[in-house]
Structure 1
Amino acid sequence: MIIYCDGKFVDSQEAKISVFDHGFLYGDGVFEGIRAYNGRVFKLKEHIDRLYESANAILLNVEISRREMMDIVVETVRKNNLTDAYIRLIISRGVGDMGLDPRKCAKSEIICIAGNISLYPPSMYENGMEIITAATRRTSSDALSPRIKSLNYLNNIMAKIEANRASLMEALMLNQEGYVSEATGDNIFIIKDGIITTPPVYAGILKGVTRDSVIDLARQEGITVQEELFHLIDVYSADECFLTGTAAELIPIIMLDSRKIGDGKPGPVFKKLLAKFHEYVKTEGEPI
């Protein structure tokens, strides 16, 4: 595997960071998870725009242009001879001392990895997935905006541990007001009477690139999509439910907290949108 690390492409065995890197010491940095399909990097501009927005929000200086960053992503995929890939793009604050002060970090560091990922087994896409509601609440937007895709995912990991202890693979998180926010790594959609509802960005969610793509595809199909706050009971009583994310794509949820959703099977709206999404990614994106 060839990794882009601090200005050059190196073998994975040579891709190393300092123990004084603040991304490692404090989670001080930002990242993006990106997919490539059929020789194209899907929604690359949107991912890079979000990366730079996250960096700007934490006053992290990125020393190259957005176009140059896009070129790094494409070249990393190309050097690994991949046409379909999962890409992890990271910007760390860089090497500093053992204190918190970001001013001690002389320059940011960029790392790009291109490989493969399988988040959930194929059977879950066919038969659906059971999840729980985590006791861990989503970090308050007043403390740290969930729209900043930072290297510190401990809040999400604590909720993921709850799912693991229940022998499940995913958990749903509520915000500080008790409204449904998102899963540990994915956005959530519910369907009731043919209308799709997903939490708005102010509910404490990451504004997902796949989420936005699905909203657009649904509206193109004439399906009403609304971004509104909702409670757990709205998920329990939904006709369908599914999650979206770069790694997960679209995956159906058939049970939450031991409550069956709909008829307990992936529903027709989900199946239609999954098919549309798979068709869409074949032709949309930055050519490799």
Structure 2
Amino acid sequence: MGGAGGAAGAGVGGAAGGLVVWADGRVLAPGERVLSPVDHGLTVGDGVFETCGVVGGRAFALTRHLDRLRASARGLGLDDPDEDLLRDAVTEVLRQAPGAGRLRITVTAGLGPLGSARTPGEPQTVVVVAGPGGAVPAPAPARAVRVPWVRNERSPVVGLKTTSYAENVVALARATAQGADEALLANTVGDLCEGTGSNVFVEVGGELLTPPLSSGCLAGITRALVLEWSTAAGLPVREAAPGELPWSVLDDVVGRGSGLVLTGSVRTTVPVVRLDATPLDISPLTQRVVDLYATRAADDVDP
């Protein structure tokens, strides 16, 4: 695999900082270098990744995450990652990080020039990291703010989980500065899209709706499970039709003071209890969906 190891690398391997890092087919020693400074994932964000929650020492919904990793790689024009290699790496890092609460798998195009072009035939860089050292706290209600930037639903990388995450970093920093822990974004045509690291569900007319994938949002693993499990339980939860959730729907949420949910692999499924400066109540439907997800997720670590 390209770009891992060597004195010219960057980053810290092993168990330093509460992390366990796997690269080049093995867990690295503390302080050991991880990436080359000319890895294309580092220089131009030419890579894909997945982040999983960890439950009882196992990566939650790993099969679904690996399926999405493969889809993202194909969307970037990268070769399919070696699934057997990744599963072995996940097993090893979690064995050596028994208190981990999350796991990240990153695959990049490998070594490349300092521009956007790739080096043909270059082996991929594959890195698997488990951390932090302590367990992630129980899922907590979220506080969100609206930000002025938008998702481009016509982007060539729409729906792909790529390492080009600067837009999310900027938007989340805005939210953090306002005392929130998530930022919500519209798309270019004025529809509600998603958060920086979460999907969103909005209560409308007695139903809980999530923006369609055509809005430009990521096909979240937790989003899909909420839709599947809620449908099976007979709850009124569904994907909205295109245009059914305009950005202004959040004004309605503020007006009635309830009905907003965030989903994500580490966040799981949680109610939003504040939007901008407005406190929100947890509606009965929201609570039923949150409770259903917690129950079903506890039953199967790889649904």
Q: 1:92 to 1:203 in 2, by over 3 A?
A: same
Q: Cα distance, 1:118 vs. partner?
A: 9.1
Match for residue 265 of structure 2 among 232, 246, 252: 246
2:251 pairs with one of 233, 236, 249:
236
Tell me the amino acid that sits aligned with residue 60 of structure 1: L
5+ long unaligned stretches in structure 1: none
Q: Distance in 2 between matches of 1:42 and 1:165?
A: 31
The equivalent of 2:56 in structure 1 is 38
Q: Which amino acid aligns with 2:108?
A: S
Contact 1:22 1:92 survives alignment (8 Å): yes
Runs of 4+ more than 3 Å apart:
116-122, 257-260
* Deviation, structure 1 residue 69: 2.0
**TM-score (structure 1 length as normaliser):** 0.87
Q: Which residue of 2 aligns with 1:222?
A: 234
Contact between 2:222 and 2:263, CA under 8 Å: does it hold in 1? yes
Normalising by structure 2, what TM-score?
0.83
Q: Which residue of 2 aligns with 1:147?
A: 159
Counterpart for residue 180 of structure 1: 192
Q: Structure 2 residue aligned with 1:50, among 68, 75, 82?
A: 68
Tell me which amino acid in the other structure corresponds to 1:28.
Answer: D
Question: Per-residue deviation at 1:252?
Answer: 1.5
* Residue 299 of structure 2 is aligned to residue 283 of structure 1: yes
Alignment of 1:66-105 (within 5 A): 66-82=83-99, 85-103=101-119
Match of 2:143 in 1: 130
**Which of 38, 44, 62 in structure 2 is aligned with 1:26?**
44
Shift of 1:170: 1.6
Report the secondary structure of 1:162's partner residue: helix
Q: Deviations over 1:166-203 (max 9, x none)?
A: 23222110000010000111000012343110000000
The match for 1:59 is 77
C-alpha separation in 1, matches of 2:32 and 2:56: 29
SS at match of 1:137: strand
- How many Å separate the matches in 2 of 1:63 and 1:190? 35
Structure 2 contact 199–218 (Cα < 8 Å) conserved: yes
Structure 2, unpaired ranges of 5+:
1-14
Deviation at 1:220, TM superposition (A): 2.3
Helix, strand or coil at the partner of 1:102: coil
Instruction: Describe how 1:156-175 pairs up with structure 2 within 5 A.
Output: 156-175=168-187
Aligned-pair CA distance for 1:120 = 9.5
Q: Secondary structure at the match of 1:11?
A: coil
User: Does the alignment pair 1:6 with 2:24?
Assistant: yes
Does the CA contact (< 8 Å) of 2:47 and 2:108 recur in 1? Answer: yes
Looking at structure 2, the residues matched to 30 and 281 of structure 1 have their Cα atoms a distance apart, in angstroms, of 25
Q: Is the 8 A contact 1:23 1:29 kept in 2?
A: yes
CA RMSD of aligned residues (A): 2.5
The alignment of Structure 1 onto Structure 2 pairs a total of residues equal to 278
Amino acid at match of 2:96: K
| Mapped partners of 1:119, 1:202: distance in 2 | 35
Task: Identify the structure with bigger relative contact order (alpha carbons < 8 Å, sequence gap 6+).
Answer: 1
Alpha-carbon distance in structure 1 between the residues aligned to 2:134 and 2:187: 28
Q: What is the CA-CA distance between 1:212 and the residue it aligns to?
A: 0.7
* Alignment check: 8 A CA contact 1:120 1:248 kept: no
Counterpart code for 1:69: L
